Amino acid sequence: MQSAEVGACWEANAENWTKFSRAGYDVYRDALNTPAFLDMLPSIAGLRGLDLGCGEGTNTRRLAECKARMTAIDIAPSFIRLAQEQEAEDPRGIRYMLGDGRDLPFADGEFDFVTAFMSLMDMPDQRRVLQQVFRVLRGGGFFQFSILHPCFVPPRRKTIRDEKGDCRAVELADYFDETDGRIETWLFSTIPSEEREGVAPFRVPRFHRTLSTWMTMIVASGFSLEEFREPMASEEAARLYPAVADTRVVPIFLHIRLRKPLSR
């Protein structure tokens, strides 16, 4: 699958994705993934940042709240439009642009840091994306990204629950099946049934890679590995937001921070 097809999928998802995520139904993002990502993030105050695969802009706005000077790109025009509309209503100084991670429209060394919240595993040719990120970073800059954990969210995954509905184990298969745009269909699990009626599920192209492939691509790109985390919901978060309790059995997300050498 090529970028145009990926972009078409996300363009079709954009309106409902924005509606439901802004309504608070993306609980994995809001209750666990984004807070853990920001906790891992170094100080970015005053730095020039690029958010890669920004979607409707919620996480980009969180970065701007940390006093970074943000630019953000996405492959879906409607995501950019919706993000720009919110920026116009409540300005944070963010520049939103339509763009493709495989061919970033920026000068060499233009940014101090780059982020990608849960977008890199949905992009074709991640090796080239890493090379492009490396190029637009200044020497000493960093790239921090989150992805579905390749070991614990392979192409086939089934949650095993007890009689009370609590997650007790996870069944995994096809870890070594490196997919190139396999379409997965789903909606946020916390959307009430009455709001689901008549809503088409999201169609998300998946580019699964094994952990060893990710590490090989990172080494080949010239980055050094600086931080590596597998966020788990706290007992309190799991109690308040039961949807994320399965992350206390095995991790769903992987957070990685890479550093570009000063000499490059």
DSSP string, 139-158: EEEEEEEEEE-TTTS-SEEE
Residue 210, Cβ density class (10 Å: 0-12 exposed, 13-18 middle, ≥19 buried): middle
Distance CA 154, CA 176 (A): 8
Distance CA 185, CA 102 (A): 24
- The alpha carbon dihedral of 199, 201, 203, 17 has a sign of positive
Topology adopted by domain 3-149+210-259: Rossmann fold (3.40.50)
Going by C-alpha positions, the residue among 201, 197, 217, 221 that lies closest to residue 209 is 217
Contact 210, 176 (CB under 8 A): yes
The 3-state DSSP class for residue 129 equals helix
pLDDT of residue 2: 83
Chain centroid to CA 123: how far? 10
- The alpha carbon dihedral of 142, 37, 80, 201 has a sign of positive
Give the H/E segment covering residue 258: strand 253-259
Helix, strand, coil shares of the chain as percentages rounded to 5? 35, 25, 35
> Which residues, listed in sequence order, are joined to residue 185 by a DSSP beta bridge?
203
pLDDT of residue 1: 78
Q: Where are the alpha helices (DSSP H) in the chain?
A: 3-22, 27, 34-40, 58-65, 77-89, 126-136, 193-196, 211-221, 235-240
Residue 184 has φ and ψ, to the nearest 5°, of -110, 135
The 3-state DSSP class for residue 219 equals helix
The 3-state DSSP class for residue 211 equals helix
Stretches in the chain below the pLDDT threshold 50: none
pLDDT of residue 185: 94
